[in-house]
Amino acid sequence: MLMNTGISVQPELLENLSYDDFLKMKNTLNEPTGNFFYDSWQIKDEYKNTVWDKLLKMLPDRIGEARLIILESETCYTKHCDIDDRYHLNLHGDCAYLLDLEKNHMHQTVRDYQWYQMDTGVLHSAA
């Protein structure tokens, strides 16, 4: 479900973020240039030249939607599948898991400054 891409984030990029910043952020950082599924996406104007822009530029071209997802302690997502794969970077969580519900496996995610590719076509959740 999770595979390390080998793309590392410089710790300094994340060190200046505070939890308060996450609470104020809108969830979607970019927008489609055309068709949601088939065309490229671009960073929204309000995030150009920010840490979010730098983080997304580390990934291969033609990534899809980039979202900042915040889960409070003791909460989880409803189980679901997605039609497109995702990239995952743990920004803040110290007790966070991606749950592969098909294999009954919990993937602990830690703030290790690594981008992961995530197969979201399997039934999964996050906690």
Q: Dihedral sign, CA of 3, 25, 92, 48? A: positive
Q: Which residue has the tokens 């909460």?
A: 75
* Termini Cα distance of the chain: 15
CA distance 102 to 121: 10
| Count, residues in the chain | 127
CA distance 5 to 29: 21
- pLDDT of amino acid 40: 86
Whole-number mean pLDDT of the chain? 87
Eight-state DSSP code of residue 46: G
- pLDDT of amino acid 74: 86
pLDDT digits (tens, 9 = 90+) for 45-77: 988 998 899 999 999 877 888 888 888 888 888
pLDDT digits (tens, 9 = 90+) for 17-56: 766 666 666 578 899 999 888 888 999 998 899 889 999 9
What's the predicted TM-score (pTM) here? 0.86
CA distance 117 to 88: 6
Better-predicted residue by pLDDT, 78 or 69: 78
